[in-house]
A = this chain, B = another copy of it.
Amino acid sequence: MPITTRTTPSRHADRTRDEPEVVHQILDEALVCHLSFIVGGEPRVLPTLHARDGDTLYLHGSTGSRPMLAARPDGLPVCVAVTLLDGLVLARSQFNHSVNYRSAVIHGRARLVTDATEKRRALAALVDHVVAGRSQDSRPPSDRELAQTAVLALSLAEASTKVRAGGPVDQPEDLSLPHWSGVLPLRLVAGDPESGAEGVAVPLPPYLRTYRRQR
């Protein structure tokens, strides 16, 4: 990916990965992103759902009515961050404590998706991003529902990632301190599916029996 002023890290340059595959993997695994934009000269950030289609990131507009309102023909300047937590890194010194993570940050101008075909495809991608296969096993939006939903599109042309993995880096003089040192792995897991109050007449679909976020 091209290196720009905005994607050049000011710290921990050794953690930077700029292969498109790494950006894609992080976006595909993470359930939510954080979308930031400017309103009245002040920063805003909101969580929302995203889905990747090739080199385009689609963002669900339900939590982002403010950016929708501000959307302009030339696009709304946004910055999107996606963060996956892989573990807590405990060193003997507080200073060397860290976190194992994979994060992606995308800069660009988001455009409002107005073409009905693209919008339907993007909404199906959002559903499938959350639960792979679900768009084929649910009712697609009506025209009225489609009109009520806002979708933003953002190019992945300007994206960067950071990845920290591995154990703690203790300083040699700290190795003899009487403190445990290592990594506590973290992962997001699904519990048992709970059917709705009205009851469900169909069996639990396979994609929910084996749900996993990690690819």
**Option from B12, B149, B183 in Cβ contact (under 8 Å) with A95:** B149
Most buried by B among A92, A95, A131, A205: A95
User: Using Cβ atoms and an 8 Å threshold, which residues of chain B touch A49?
Assistant: 99
| A95→B141 contact, CB < 8 A | yes
Assuming the A-B contacts A78-B43, A185-B192, A186-B191, are A94 and B138 also in contact, with contact meaning beta carbons closer than 8 angstroms in the complex?
Answer: yes
User: Using Cβ atoms and an 8 Å threshold, which residues of chain B touch A174?
Assistant: 139
Interface residues of A in 159-202 (CB under 8 A from B): 162, 167-168, 170, 174-175, 177-198, 200-202
State which of A17-25, A51-59, A81-89 sits at the interface with chain B. A81-89
Assuming the A-B contacts A49-B99, A180-B195, A188-B188, are A93 and B138 also in contact, with contact meaning beta carbons closer than 8 angstroms in the complex?
Answer: yes
* Interface of A, helix, strand, loop or mixed by DSSP: mixed
A31 to B84, CA, bound (A): 11
**Option from B90, B99, B138 in Cβ contact (under 8 Å) with A138:** B90
Q: A42-B77, A94-B134 are in contact. List 20 more A-B contacts (CB 8 A).
A: A31-B186, A36-B36, A36-B44, A36-B79, A45-B79, A45-B80, A45-B81, A63-B162, A90-B138, A92-B139, A93-B138, A94-B127, A97-B134, A131-B184, A168-B196, A180-B195, A181-B196, A182-B194, A184-B193, A187-B188
